[in-house]
């Protein structure tokens, strides 16, 4: 029988999709209030691999990533997704979200997003929230899987996450 051990805490990274700069500022403010100090990461790009959010958010849609300074236990992912859904609702106008928040956990071995949508490769966590294994770390890089969203499979986002992972590993070593 294996010994039950609590895994190391991980980085919280949240993708923010938005059309208006004031909504980016509102999202960052809400994330800071709920999850503590954090920072916007260097990546800034357009969300152009899908038109899924165009009607709701408007166009052009931009993406930024926010990273919390503190670490989180892995079993908090569903609770965090529930909280970010509440933030989206708080700023909705006429039933439409003004920003979209997708929280994920970055560890030494992978990047896992939280989602409310079930699919064959997703694992149910609780309260209607699933874990989506989005990227795995192998051979000194994050690698996409067959189901990885095209934007996360792209080189820019994988490199951003690799750099954050490397910083995280260095900080854990002291």
> Tokens 């956990």, residue?
105
Per-residue pLDDT at 52: 87
C-alpha dist (Å) from residue 142 to 104, 145, 157: 14, 10, 9
Per-residue pLDDT at 51: 85
Q: How far apart are CA 102 and CA 83, in angstroms?
A: 11
Q: Across residues 128-141, what is the average pLDDT?
A: 97
Tell me the per-residue pLDDT of 30-68, one tens digit each, with 9 for 90 and over. Answer: 999 999 999 999 888 888 878 888 999 999 999 999 999
Phi and psi at residue 168, to the nearest 5°: -60, -45
Q: How far apart are CA 23 and CA 56, in angstroms?
A: 13
Percent of the chain with pLDDT over 70: 99
Per-residue pLDDT at 50: 82
| Token pair of 141 as six digits | 């890089």
pTM: 0.95
Q: Which helix (H) or strand (E) holds 147?
A: none
First-last CA distance in the chain: 32
Residue-averaged pLDDT of the chain = 95
| Token pair of 56 as six digits | 């709701």
| Token pair of 57 as six digits | 């958010």
């Amino acid at each position: 029988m294996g010994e039950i051990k609590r895994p190391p805490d991980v980085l919280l990274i949240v993708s923010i999709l938005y059309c208006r700069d004031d909504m980016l500022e509102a999202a960052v403010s809400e994330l800071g209030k709920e999850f503590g100090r954090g920072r916007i990461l260097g990546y800034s790009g357009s969300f152009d691999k899908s038109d899924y959010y165009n009607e709701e958010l408007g166009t052009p849609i931009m993406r930024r990533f926010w990273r919390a300074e503190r670490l989180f236990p892995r079993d908090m992912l569903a609770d965090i997704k529930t909280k970010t859904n509440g933030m989206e609702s708080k700023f909705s106008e006429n039933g439409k979200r003004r920003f979209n928040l997708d929280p994920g956990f970055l560890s030494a071995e992978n990047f896992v997003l939280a989602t409310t949508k079930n699919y064959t490769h997703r694992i149910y966590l609780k309260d209607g929230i699933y874990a989506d294994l989005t990227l795995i770390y192998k051979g000194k890089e994050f690698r996409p899987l067959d189901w990885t969203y095209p934007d996360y499979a792209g080189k820019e986002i994988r490199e951003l996450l690799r750099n954050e992972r490397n910083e995280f590993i260095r900080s854990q070593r002291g």
